[in-house]
Amino acid sequence: MKAIRLERPGGPETLEYVDVQTPKPGPSEVLVKAHAIGVCWPEVLVRRGTYAWMPPLPAIPGIEMSGVVAETGPGVSALKVGQPVYVSARELPHRAGCYAEYIAVGEHVPYVIPPGVDLDLAATLANYQVAYHLLHSAPRGFPYESVLVQTAAGGVGSAAVQLARAAGKRVIALAGTDAKCKFALEQGAAVAINYRDGDVKAQVAAATGNAGVDLILDAVAGPHFPELFDHLAPLGLVVLYGALDGPAPADLMAAMRRRPGTSPALRLFSIHAFDHDRAARRQATGALLDLLASGAIRPAIHARLPLAEAGRAQALLESGKVLGKLLLKP
């Protein structure tokens, strides 16, 4: 079969399109033939060699694919040949293996895709898994009605906009260009603000009637991170889940004390909080498949590229120009 192999960390050119042995499903395993493969930011970090959960190299990168069961090993009873499934490497020992035409996994790893669901759309769910937990798990029961989403045109950001809208929340989107703001509105944001244009604090205040927002989701961090606390409603919560602009300043308490009457809160979130909680992972992804089947969410696909062009796909993701999701097609 054809696959992408990473021998050593480096630039996009280190992703080699190679011939490798097609795996055979062993006892209680199934062989899945890929239909579409999602391109995700953790795979960029794996390629760079900076991911905290690196698979051992050489490796086939990739954390998600949709496809059909092509073959079953001895003793398999949960799945049948021809059944459409979604494979998440979050269910595997290593976050890897999906940049390939086939993958062999235990029969209880794949999620059954409901009838009628587009397999291309099913291959986008890794971003939605993160967004789902940002909205439903990270707040730990905190009641909220409004959400401000940073990087709202990206993969996780646009997923968060759609999921928040589906949950009946009012979404304010922050993005870096007018085109990205337009895209965020198309995903369901009530208001979209270009953070490079004008006074963001004043625009958020105007959008909320000076009340502020209940929940802020941020993957940017960096030197401007403390300014997010100025957008919070009383008893509001900021959830930080990335550092695209580098780490946040060390002294966040000073920023949180600027408006002590709001009693702000901060949570640092990682999807790896669920590495040892299979039930929570399965519940969330099952809920996402139901939302996909009902049409409550519809992932935006930026482009579909051949599997052979995985390096180009990752370079495009790194460029910051992707609106929604990139797919690789074997």
pLDDT the model gives residue 68 = 98
**Residue 203 counted as domain residue:** yes
Range of the domain at 215: 128-272
Dihedral sign for Cα atoms in the order 165, 170, 174, 179: positive
Domain total of the chain:
2
How many Å apart are CA 234 and CA 311, to the nearest integer? 45
Residues 222 and 184 in one domain: yes
Q: Give whole-number Cα distances, 278 to 61, 72, 91, 273, 285, in Å.
A: 22, 23, 8, 11, 11
Residues 152 and 88 in one domain: no
**Residue 313 counted as domain residue:** yes
DSSP code, position 21: P
Q: Name the one residue in this structure whose structure tokens are 């927002």.
A: 213
**Residue 177 counted as domain residue:** yes
Contact 24, 46 (CB under 8 A): no
Residues 85 and 159 in one domain: no
Residues 147 and 74 in one domain: no
Residues 143 and 264 in one domain: yes
pLDDT the model gives residue 178 = 96
Residues 34 and 100 in one domain: yes
Residues 107 and 145 in one domain: no
Question: What's the average pLDDT block by block, 10 residues per block, for the chain (330 residues)?
Answer: 98 98 98 98 96 95 98 97 97 96 98 97 97 97 96 95 98 96 97 94 96 97 94 97 92 88 94 96 97 96 98 96 95
Q: Which residues contact 114 (CB under 8 A, 6 or more apart)?
A: 289, 290, 292, 293
pTM for the full predicted model: 0.95
